[in-house]
């Protein structure tokens, strides 16, 4: 197993929690920022020495919610422990409502070269239903601020919002393309237990759009973006040539990676660990010199091989049988052959030049395929 060449930093702060969000975050608790910075520095010190990485990703929460001086301090702390190689990718997630010239200046001076902007939509009514705090003008303004100083800009878009029409989704895609991003991620709205959206759904206050309309939107997104010159390289992700998210590709390739912060999940030395999701508990534990890890496991070789297969199948290129056998020591046919052939016969998977991959039909229901593979 090669040593990790990727690192993730979780920044849990937001101005408010959107109704559909179940990520690890705290809203309206900026009083915790200084303690969080101390905890991050303490947790990183347990690495004992700096670890060079090729990709670094700050996610959240909203990293750009931090005041400029705190954002600068966080990046300085992290970059000391995770020095970046030449040709690195350094990504930061951002909210269009937060970005201003001061924050962008910090990102530029600290070497951030990829920004992931949580646009979600350009439609005022849809943004309101998503409980977002920005508008279409904020997205355009943010793009204008960032474009001169960042090599690669990604936009996140959501489809399948209650009441959304095909025309609204079509307009979102057109508006996104007009801004000329380098990468676009499209996600169907999910109803996560514990969120406000879930509660509204359970009470009958909102009604999911439905499987067929959502599928049509997903398919339309694929057609529009690929026709515009984007490569559809992962189930939800599209990139212009040379602008794939290398950090996420490390995940999908099954590589190891470091991670720090509340709720952060790491994979190092064959062991998966997840930090406590509570920001206050994370801070208290780390500052008391205690481990923030809430859960950990070391996968058996067969389980690791199955996981590697499923991660790899998220990529449109799929999994090469020969490479899989060389890396895991397992023959794919012996491991999951019966299930593979069942889904190939149903037209959901296909085999091309020793690569097993999703068909276009399989793309739309891929999440329902993997439990069958795991339990083969």
Q: Encoding tokens for residue 18? A: 């959107």
241 and 308 housed in the same domain? no
Classify residue 291: in a domain, yes or no: no
Average pLDDT over residues 193-204: 85
202 and 346 housed in the same domain? no
Q: Encoding tokens for residue 24? A: 């690890």
18 and 164 housed in the same domain? yes
Classify residue 130: in a domain, yes or no: yes
What tens digit of pLDDT does each residue of 247-269 get?
A: 999 999 999 999 999 999 999 99
68 and 182 housed in the same domain? yes
Which residues 6+ apart lie within 8 Å of 236 measured at CB? 185, 186, 187
What tens digit of pLDDT does each residue of 306-338 get?
A: 999 999 999 999 999 999 999 999 999 999 989
Instruction: Find tokens 């057609």 and name the residue.
Output: 223
314 and 242 housed in the same domain? no
Classify residue 80: in a domain, yes or no: yes
Average pLDDT over residues 183-193: 92
Residue 181 and residue 156 in contact, taking contact as beta carbons nearer than 8 Å: no
What does pLDDT average to over the chain? Answer: 94
The pLDDT of residue 1 is above 60:
no
Q: Is pLDDT larger for residue 98 or for residue 21?
A: 98
What tens digit of pLDDT does each residue of 138-170 get?
A: 999 999 999 999 999 999 999 999 999 999 999
Classify residue 262: in a domain, yes or no: no
164 and 60 housed in the same domain? yes
Question: Which of the listed residues 212, 232, 252 is the one where a domain comes to its end?
Answer: 252
Classify residue 272: in a domain, yes or no: no
Q: What is the CATH number of the domain that holds 87?
A: 3.20.20.70
β-bridge partners, 298? 271
Instruction: Find tokens 């095909």 and name the residue.
Output: 166
236 and 314 housed in the same domain? no
Q: What is the DSSP string of 234-256?
A: ETTEEE-TT---HHHHHHHTT--
Phi, psi of 278 (to 5 degrees): -75, 125
Closest CA to 149 of 206, 185, 107: 107
Neighbour tally for 285: CB within 10 Å: 20
**199 CA to centre of own chain:** 24
Q: How many helices (H) and strands (E) does the chain have?
A: 15, 17
What tens digit of pLDDT does each residue of 33-78 get?
A: 999 999 999 999 999 999 999 999 999 999 999 999 999 999 999 9
pTM: 0.94
The pLDDT of residue 376 is above 80:
no
Q: How confident is the model at residue 2 (pLDDT cuts 50, 70, 90)?
A: low
Closest CA to 58 of 14, 121, 8, 122: 8
> DSSP 3-state assignment of 153?
strand
Q: Encoding tokens for residue 343? A: 């889904």
Return the pLDDT at 75.
98
Enclosing domain of residue 367: 301-374
Q: Encoding tokens for residue 310? A: 């499923």
Q: How confident is the model at residue 295 (pLDDT cuts 50, 70, 90)?
A: very high
Average pLDDT over residues 76-87: 97
Classify residue 147: in a domain, yes or no: yes
100 and 193 housed in the same domain? yes
Average pLDDT over residues 17-25: 81
Which residues 6+ apart lie within 8 Å of 102 measured at CB? 68
Supply the angle between the helices 136-146 and 101-109 in degrees, to the nearest 10: 40
Q: What is the CATH number of the domain that holds 320?
A: 1.10.10.10
The pLDDT of residue 112 is above 80:
yes
The pLDDT of residue 292 is above 70:
yes
The pLDDT of residue 225 is above 80:
yes
84 and 210 housed in the same domain? yes
Classify residue 276: in a domain, yes or no: no
Instruction: Find tokens 């999440």 and name the residue.
Output: 367
198 and 340 housed in the same domain? no
Percent of the chain beyond pLDDT 90?
Answer: 83
Q: Specify the number of domains making up the chain.
A: 2
Please give the angle made by the CA atoms of 9, 13 and 19, to the nearest 5 degrees: 115
Classify residue 257: in a domain, yes or no: no
Closest CA to 139 of 202, 78, 190, 97: 97
Which of 24-28, 150-154, 255-259, 358-362 shows the lowest per-residue confidence on average (mean pLDDT)?
A: 24-28
Average pLDDT over residues 224-233: 98
């Amino acid at each position: 197993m090669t040593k990790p060449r990727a690192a993730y930093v979780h920044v849990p702060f937001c101005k408010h929690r959107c109704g559909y969000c179940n990520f690890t975050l705290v809203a309206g608790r900026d009083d915790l920022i200084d303690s969080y910075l101390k905890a991050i520095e303490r947790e990183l010190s347990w690495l004992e020495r700096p670890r060079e990485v090729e990709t670094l990703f700050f996610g959240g929460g909203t990293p750009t919610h931090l005041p400029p001086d705190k954002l600068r301090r966080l990046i300085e702390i992290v970059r000391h422990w995770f020095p970046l190689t030449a040709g690195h990718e350094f990504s930061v997630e951002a909210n269009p409502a937060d970005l201003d010239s001061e924050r962008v200046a910090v990102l530029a001076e600290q070497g951030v070269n990829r920004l992931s902007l949580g646009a979600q939509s350009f439609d005022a009514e849809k943004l309101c239903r998503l409980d977002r705090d920005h508008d279409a003008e904020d997205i355009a303004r943010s793009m204008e601020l960032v474009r001169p100083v960042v090599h690669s800009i990604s936009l996140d878009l959501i489809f399948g919002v209650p009441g959304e029409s095909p025309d609204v989704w079509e307009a979102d895609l057109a508006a996104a393309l007009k801004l000329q991003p380098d990468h676009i991620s499209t996600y169907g709205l999910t109803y996560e237990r514990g969120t406000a959206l879930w509660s509204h759904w359970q009470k009958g206050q909102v009604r999911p759009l439905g499987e067929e309309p959502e599928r049509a939107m997903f398919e339309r997104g694929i057609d529009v973006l690929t026709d515009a010159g984007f490569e559809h390289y992962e189930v939800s992700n599209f990139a212009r040539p040379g602008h794939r998210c290398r950090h996420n590709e490390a995940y999908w390739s099954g590589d190891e990676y470091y991670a720090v912060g509340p709720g952060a999940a790491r994979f190092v030395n064959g062991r998966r660990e997840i930090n406590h999701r509570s920001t206050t508990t994370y801070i208290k534990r780390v500052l008391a010199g205690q481990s923030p890890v809430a859960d950990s496991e070391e996968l058996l070789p067969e389980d690791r091989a199955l996981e590697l297969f499923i991660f790899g199948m998220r990529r449109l290129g799929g999994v090469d049988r020969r490479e899989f056998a060389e890396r895991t020591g397992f023959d794919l046919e012996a491991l999951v052959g019966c299930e593979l052939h069942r889904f190939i016969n149903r037209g959901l998977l296909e085999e091309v030049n020793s690569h097993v991959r999703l068909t276009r039909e399989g793309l739309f229901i891929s999440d329902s395929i993997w439990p069958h593979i795991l339990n083969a």
